[in-house]
């Protein structure tokens, strides 16, 4: 799985304001921030979490913190997990992003559903090239 684990994870402390989390997302062009205590994942805040908290519930983004809105029942996978194990964990937890941890439980990366879509696209392209190399050419009329 290491081929699709993004090791550059955008993270912040639980005390970070929602305004700062939103700015971090904008600066880093990401839709989620992993909330860490030290190096250990504690939760995730998504752009949707911020939108719902502020627009739907009227939460002040300057005074509310990541800890106030984060999904704190975080599911992680070992950075050495296989692809199917990660997909199973994502499916069972009904999440599109899952942090990967090292042997010490520290944040080592993140895998997103989009990463799997890109991987599948690459694999299908390679399969198509193999098939094309094996079939005779035909003319279009």
For the chain, list the strands marked E by DSSP: 11-12, 32-37, 40-46, 77-78, 97-101, 107-112
Name the DSSP class of 45.
Answer: E
Q: 1-32, pLDDT tens digit by residue?
A: 556 788 889 999 999 999 999 999 999 999 99
How much is the pLDDT for 120?
Answer: 87
In a 10 Å sphere around its CB, with 0-12 CB exposed, 13-18 middle and 19+ buried, how is residue 14 labelled? middle
Q: Mean of the per-residue pLDDT values for the chain? A: 91
Superfamily of domain 11-134: CBS-domain (3.10.580.10)
Q: Where are the domains of the chain?
A: 11-134
Q: Are 24 and 33 in contact (CB under 8 A)?
A: yes
How much is the pLDDT for 52?
Answer: 94
Please state, in angstroms and rounded to a whole number, the distance separating the CA atoms of residues 133 and 137: 9
């Amino acid at each position: 799985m290491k081929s699709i684990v993004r090791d550059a994870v955008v993270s912040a402390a639980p005390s970070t304001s929602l305004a700062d989390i939103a700015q971090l997302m904008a600066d880093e062009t990401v839709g989620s921030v992993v909330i860490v205590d030290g190096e250990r994942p504690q939760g995730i805040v998504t752009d949707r979490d911020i939108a719902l908290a502020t627009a739907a519930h009227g939460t002040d983004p300057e005074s509310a913190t990541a800890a106030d809105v984060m999904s704190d029942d975080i599911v992680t996978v070992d950075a050495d997990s296989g692809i199917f194990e990660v997909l199973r964990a994502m499916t069972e937890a009904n999440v599109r992003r899952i942090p990967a941890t090292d042997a010490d439980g520290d944040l080592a990366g993140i895998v997103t559903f989009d990463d799997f879509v890109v991987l599948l696209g690459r694999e299908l392209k390679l399969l198509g090239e193999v098939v094309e190399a094996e079939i005779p050419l035909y003319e279009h009329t």
